[in-house]
Amino acid sequence: MECPMTKDQVEAVLARVPTWPEGRQQELAELALEIEAKISGAGYGAMPDELAAIDEGLAEEEAASEEEVKTAFALFQRHDGQ
């Protein structure tokens, strides 16, 4: 079992976030919104880039293979458990 971070450690990490690459800042923001939605009981609202990717996928004529679907679900389940 991992030792939980103290409030001071969390604040120190968050203070360094603006120095991170923009993509990593966006990733943290998305994760924070997911966590906050779970805490509040609200559903997850997809980000604009996620909605664009969904639209792009729907516009393609070729469906995902069974292996691609299994891989995606495994990723989602692993991500949801964090």
Side chain identity, residue 71 = T
| Residue 41 belongs to a domain | yes
CB atoms within 10 A of CB 25: 13
Is residue 16 within 8 Å of residue 28, measured between CB atoms?
no
| Residue 2 belongs to a domain | no
| Residue 40 belongs to a domain | yes
| Residue 65 belongs to a domain | yes
| Residue 44 belongs to a domain | yes
The stretches in the chain having pLDDT less than 70 are 1-2, 43-44, 78-82
| Residue 1 belongs to a domain | no
Q: Is the dihedral of CA 73, 77, 79, 80 positive or negative?
A: positive
pTM of the model: 0.47
For residue 81, the model assigns a pLDDT of 54
Residues spanned by the domain of 44: 7-80
Q: Please tell me the distance from the alpha carbon of residue 70 to that of residue 37, in angstroms, as a whole number.
A: 26
Q: Please tell me the distance from the alpha carbon of residue 15 to that of residue 74, in angstroms, as a whole number.
A: 32
Is residue 30 within 8 Å of residue 47, measured between CB atoms?
yes
Domain count, the chain: 1
